[in-house]
Structure 1
Amino acid sequence: MGRHKQPEIRDRILDACVDHALAHGLPDRLEPFAAAAETSTRMLIYHFGTRDALLRETLGRARRRQRDFFGELVSPRADEPYPSTLRRAWRVMTGPAGRPYLSMFGRLREDAGQQLWPDFRREATTDWLRPFEDGMRSVGRPELGTLVLAVVRGLIMDIEATGEVARADQAFDDFLAALASVTTSHGGMLPPETAADTPAARAATGPPA
């Protein structure tokens, strides 16, 4: 009589694989995942079927984590203007907590021939359009959600390509200043930056990991 699979064990293994992939990237072999999950490659195959099936599930769960994390960051708040919310979200997304997600999915987006998630490029855009539209709706300009998304994605790609965080930070702050100028009538003016929040101050701490 065959052994029944235990969903809680499978779930624990998958979480361990996601943690490993965010820290080190997707492995070419199953052994790194097996070590991270403190199990064997045979058990990985038992629970997930094939290496590619496990990789797809790993990407899917990592994406859900990212959507929950980033989605909360960019959600409008009653106690602050939305451009201020965007400034704080940008700092977190491009900082140590957010960069593992950007690196993982940046590589996936750039791999035109990858088969693990063939429709990822489209989904990587549509995933974030609604949250930014909802945020900009809070200042009466939901149609600017596309512009916000384009700027965020473009500057993230710039950081991934060049590592020049301070320059991208300055560009994003310049964008927010322009955004505030067209949303002032809706309470969207940014508060003055503190010295600790300037691009120069952030650059002094080094690029995000």
Structure 2
Amino acid sequence: MGRHKQPEIRDRILDACVDHALRHGLPDRLEPLAAASGTSARMLIYHFGTRDALLRETLRRARRRQRDFFGDLVSPRPEEPYPSTLRRAWRVMTGPAGRPYLTMFGRLRENAGQQLWPGFSRESTTDWLQPLEDGMRSIGRPELATLVLAVVRGLIMDIETTGDVSRADRAFEDFLAALALVAEAPETAGKRHPA
């Protein structure tokens, strides 16, 4: 009779693979993931089936971690004005704690890693909308969540391309200043009117 797979071992291995991938990127071979998880390439295949299946699960778990982490960062806090929440979230997202996620998923958007997660670009465009909408609702402008998301994503792409964090930080501060003005304006400001 064959051994039964143990979900807790598989789960531990997957967490170790995610930790490794966030530090070093997705490897081309199984051996770095085997070493990081304290097992063998053969055991990785036993638990996950194929290299690509393991990489897909690694990406999905990393994305779940990122959604939880970043989602908490951009969630409104009763004691804090929402622009301050966004400022703090931006610093953490683009700082040492958030950069591994940005690097991993930036690479996924750019290259053949899309084969591991078809539809990633579309999903990753909208998965932050709800917490941002909740936050913008706290200042009476939930409809601006898409604008906030577009600015954050655009500046993150700028950082990934140029490495110029200080310029992106200044641009985000300018955006927050403009956002404060918009939040104070009547809700009809900026709405389209028929010609």
TM-score (norm 2): 0.93
Cα deviation 1:104-146 (Å, max 9, x = unaligned): 0001111267310010000001101111111101111011000
- Secondary structure at 1:63's aligned position in 2? helix
Instruction: Report if the CA contact (8 A) 2:135-2:142 is conserved.
Output: yes
In structure 2, the residue matched to 1:178 is 178
Deviations 1:53-95 (A, max 9, x none): 0000000000000000000000001001100000000000000
Q: One-letter code of the match for 1:110?
A: E
- Please give the per-residue CA displacement for 1:157-186, whole angstroms capped at 9, x wherever unaligned: 000111111100000000000000121379
Q: Which amino acid aligns with 1:69?
A: F
Runs of 4+ in 1 over 4 A off after TM superposition: none
Q: Output the CA distance in 1 between the equivalents of 2:88 and 2:102.
A: 17
Segments of structure 2 that go 5 or more residues without pairing to the other structure are 187-195
* Correspondence 1:81-120 to 2 at 5 A: 81-111=81-111, 114-120=114-120
The residue type equivalent to 2:15 in the other structure is D
Please say if residues 107 and 113 of structure 2, whose CA atoms lie closer than 8 Å, have aligned partners that are also in contact.
no
* Identity rate, percent: 85
Q: TM-score, normalised by structure 1?
A: 0.87
**What RMSD, in angstroms, separates the aligned Cα atoms of the two structures?**
1.2
Q: Name 2:137's counterpart in structure 1.
A: 137
**Structure 1 regions of 5+ residues with no counterpart?**
187-209
Change over 3 Å in CA distance of 1:112–1:8 after alignment to 2: closer
Q: Distance in 1 between matches of 2:139 and 2:51?
A: 46
Q: Does 1:69 align with 2:46?
A: no
Range moving further from structure 2, 129-138 or 5-14: 129-138
- State the structure with bigger RCO (CA 8 A, min sep 6), 1 or 2: 1
- C-alpha distance in 2 between matches for 1:36 and 1:7: 18
